[in-house]
Amino acid sequence: MNDGTLLHGAPPNEDASPLGVFRVAPWVVSPVELAGDGLGIMYWRSFGVPWIAEDIHERFKTMAPPEVGPLIRPAFAVGLFPRWNGSAYYPTKIPDLIGIEDRKYIDHTATHQHRGPADLMRYAALVTYSDASDFGPHRMLSDTQRRIPSRAPDEALYALAQYLYSLEPPLNPNLSDPRISTGRQIFNREGCGSCHTPPLYTNNKLTLTEGFTPPPGHARALDIAHVSKGCGTGGGTSTTAPLRLSRRCSTRRDCRTISCRRASCRLVRKLAP
Ligand code: HEC
């Protein structure tokens, strides 16, 4: 924050790359220890989409370490990083954890349902050390790497979930700004609230990207919105991102676009090759 205080649960406000790409990045990116891999193959396992013809990540397989660094480094920026199952070419936005308790889906692309602490615990366990990364017939990890090295106790995961649920956004310091009421009028006039519905400023529904047809029965079971946000690159889903517009201020610094990002779409394709 401007006054120097640290806001727990908010996306980072600092560029992670000065920490040193070679020292930190592989472990930041990968949820499992990729023993026996060179740097290039490690990143291929993280990002590769082998069922797509001419996958741009294929080149990582044969890359020498000095070539990998300059490619990976720009993917680390304020609020962004090249996450596992994401891409160095389309870095992933680090989400705000404040308010997670009220969200029905986890991840921008709604990869997991969130019905309570048990789902959050499962998600934490999955992304921390047990993501097998199998996509249909495509296996991204070797047999050794697939072995789960350790497991956090349920008590620890439950405590983690309770901590995340306890996070509170700070009070909005701009409440006396007269432009707030003008902004509210615009918000109402433009119908933003049909998707960013008060009081959570998300309707907590899935929105389909253009060209993606959910399997039969899914529309009702998953509470999919009737309107699509559109997406230039093909199928998938996205959640209507929660906005904080009332008494709380937004801690996001990278709300630059409301259009669907390509990495999100690719990620969903990866889930359903
Ligand atoms: C048809 C539904 C819909 C409407 C209407 C809509 N949005 Fe969104 N909005 C979305 C979705 C879905 C996302 C997330 C897109 C993504 O992550 O790719 C989003 C994302 C955003 C974000 C980025 C939030 C973040 O955390 O990154 C902002 C800011 C935003 N919308 C503002 C607005 C405003 C202001 C309006 C009205 C002018 C509006 N939206 C109208 C569905 C909608």
Burial class (CB in 10 A: 0-12, 13-18, 19+), 64: exposed
pLDDT in tens, 197-248: 999 999 998 888 888 888 887 777 778 886 665 543 333 455 666 654 333 3
At residue 25, the pLDDT reads 47
Residues framing ligand 1 (Cβ under 6 A):
108, 190-192, 194-196, 207, 227, 229, 238, 240-241, 243, 252, 255, 258, 260-261, 264
Distance CA 231, CA 235 (A): 8
Rounded to the nearest whole angstrom, what is the distance from the C-alpha of residue 4 to the centroid of ligand 1?
29
Per-residue pLDDT for 74 more than 70? yes
Distance CA 25, CA 42 (A): 11
* Position in ligand 1 atom list of the atom nearest CA 238: 12
At residue 239, the pLDDT reads 60
pLDDT in tens, 155-196: 999 999 999 999 998 888 888 999 999 999 999 999 999 999
Q: What is the dihedral of CA 73, 74, 78, 84, to 10 degrees?
A: -70
Domain boundaries, the chain: 176-271
Distance CA 205, CA 110 (A): 9
As a whole number of Å, the end-to-end CA separation of the chain is 42
Question: For the range 55-59, what are the long-range contacts, defined as Cβ-Cβ under 8 Å and sequence gap of 24 or more?
Answer: 56/89, 57/87, 57/88, 57/89
Query: What Å distances lie between residue 108 and 148, 182, 230, 265, CA to CA?
Result: 26, 29, 14, 10
Rounded to the nearest whole angstrom, what is the distance from the C-alpha of residue 188 to the centroid of ligand 1?
14
- Give the best-scoring range by mean pLDDT among 48-52, 146-150, 220-224, 225-229: 48-52
Q: Average pLDDT, whole number, for the chain?
A: 77
At residue 29, the pLDDT reads 59
